[in-house]
Amino acid sequence: GAVVSQHPSRVICKSGTSVKIECRSLDFQATTMFWYRQFPKQSLMLMATSNEGSKATYEQGVEKDKFLINHASLTLSTLTVTSAHPEDSSFYICSARDNQENQPQHFGDGTRLSIL
Amino acid sequence: AQSVTQLDSHVSVSEGTPVLLRCNYSSSYSPSLFWYVQHPNKGLQLLLKYTSAATLVKGINGFEAEFKKSETSFHLTKPSAHMSDAAEYFCVVSLSYNTDKLIFGTGTRLQVFP
């Protein structure tokens, strides 16, 4: 089956640090990947859609300069949380959709980000 | 516009008894519907999907769901709960021709007691 690998699984760092999260599709090509944020006991909120070779599309209210997205290949997208602060602490999940038509999104295992 | 409502935030069952997780949707166009499961501190795993083929959809781990257009429902069922089924379950809707925009329900936490 389709596997999406997300790394790291957990990050603890000081306020002001920039943190990079990687999302890889291991056995399929994904022109489009997605970044979600999940607050405790809540559902997933789409932050941005990552497009290979072009700029990401951000949802309303998401700061693109704060959450930098790079999608340099058909199997890798990265999310960098720049100058992270405690309010950025959250569970970040990526997903990827196989380039074939009508394929569902497959999710990574998420990254627990804790900013001290 | 599309929306999805999960009617129960928590469901508790005993091991070996049936599971029913309820989901109602609203969509202006032909929808695709999904159920995902999330175990603690993990991502989401696809259980099953409906994409305008058979209305009764069988998924992994013995789960199935039935698309009922007249009731705008897509309830998830399993005949016999297992302890390992304890998790958070999300009902998700998207347009059938564009699965990029997923609309998530608020989730149902399933507890399974021995």
Instruction: Give the count of Cβ contacts less than 8 A between chain A and B.
Output: 50
Which string of DSSP letters, residue by residue, matches A62-116? --TTTEEEEEEETTEEEEEETT--GGG-EEEEEEEE-SSTTPPEEE---EEEEE-
CA separation for the pair B47, B59 (Å, rounded): 5
* Eight-state DSSP code of residue B66: E
* CA distance to partner chain A, nearest, from residue B28 (Å): 19
CA separation for the pair A64, A87 (Å, rounded): 16
Instruction: Look at B44 and A91 and tell me if their CB atoms are within 8 Å.
Output: no
- Predicted pLDDT of residue A104: 84
What is the per-residue pLDDT across A2-25, written as a single tens digit (0 to 9) for each?
889 999 999 999 999 999 999 999
Distances (CA, A) of B30 to A22, A50, B53, B96, B108: 34, 25, 12, 6, 24
Which of B23, B38, B89, B98 should one mutate to test binding to chain A, selecting the residue with the greatest count of A CBs within 10 A? B38
Where do we find the tokens 């998924």?
Answer: B59
Strands of B15-95 (E only): list them.
19-21, 23-27, 31-38, 44-50, 56-58, 64-68, 73-78, 87-95
Look up residue A81 and give its two tokens. Answer: 């949380």
Closest Cβ–Cβ partner in B42, B102, B107 for A105: B102
What is the per-residue pLDDT across A69-107, written as a single tens digit (0 to 9) for each?
999 899 999 999 999 999 999 999 999 988 776 678 899
What is the per-residue pLDDT across B58-88, written as a single tens digit (0 to 9) for each?
999 999 999 999 999 999 999 999 999 999 9
Of A56, A91, A86, A84, nearest to A70 (Cα)? A56
Residue B5 CB-density burial (10 A; 0-12 exposed, 13-18 middle, 19+ buried)? middle
Where do we find the tokens 């305008």?
Answer: B52
CA separation for the pair B63, B87 (Å, rounded): 13
Instruction: Look at B104 and A44 and tell me if their CB atoms are within 8 Å.
Output: yes
Instruction: Look at A46 and B46 and tell me if their CB atoms are within 8 Å.
Output: no
What is the per-residue pLDDT across A38-57, written as a single tens digit (0 to 9) for each?
988 788 899 999 988 889 99
CA separation for the pair B114, B99 (Å, rounded): 38
- Residues from chain A contacting residue B49 (CB–CB below 8 Å): 104
